[in-house]
Amino acid sequence: MEMKDMELGALQERFADVVWANEPVSSGELVKICEKEFSWKKPTTYTVLRKLCEKGLLQNEDGVVTSLIDRDEFYSAKSEQIIEDSYEGSLPAFIAAFTSRKKLSKKEVDEIQKMIDGFKKQGR
């Protein structure tokens, strides 16, 4: 599935996060959670749920809501799309832009270096 097909608004993303955190979740329980988290009325929850089902992110079968795409897969694809759209697919350009505003900690630098070393060992 194309990430472009999966573009979500901020509220839809927060809603999806609620489903990922609670799945499998009954649609009735989801209404209660969204009322508490977002102050939504029942119709709002069902409208957003229907839209995310239409996009192929969630499913509602017999009143039980589950995801069709897991959270990590969704956010990985979203990150790739941001790099593609904003940095012409260049990960180094993205990292340069990111680190120009946010300094990395020594721990973060070490983690990134371990990842790079691992890729080199795998011949990627």
Question: Candidates 1.10.10.10, 3.50.40.10, 3.20.20.140, 3.90.1150.10; correct CATH number of 3-71?
Answer: 1.10.10.10
Name the pLDDT band for 91 (thresholds 50, 70, 90). Answer: confident
pLDDT digit string (tens) for 52-71? 999 999 999 999 999 999 99
Q: Which long-range contacts (CB under 8 A, 24 or more apart) does 94-103 make?
A: none
As given in the structure block, the two tokens for residue 61 are 């079968």
* Chain Cα centroid distance, residue 46: 20
Name the pLDDT band for 31 (thresholds 50, 70, 90). Answer: very high
Taking the domains of the chain in order of start, what are their residue ranges? Answer: 3-71, 90-124
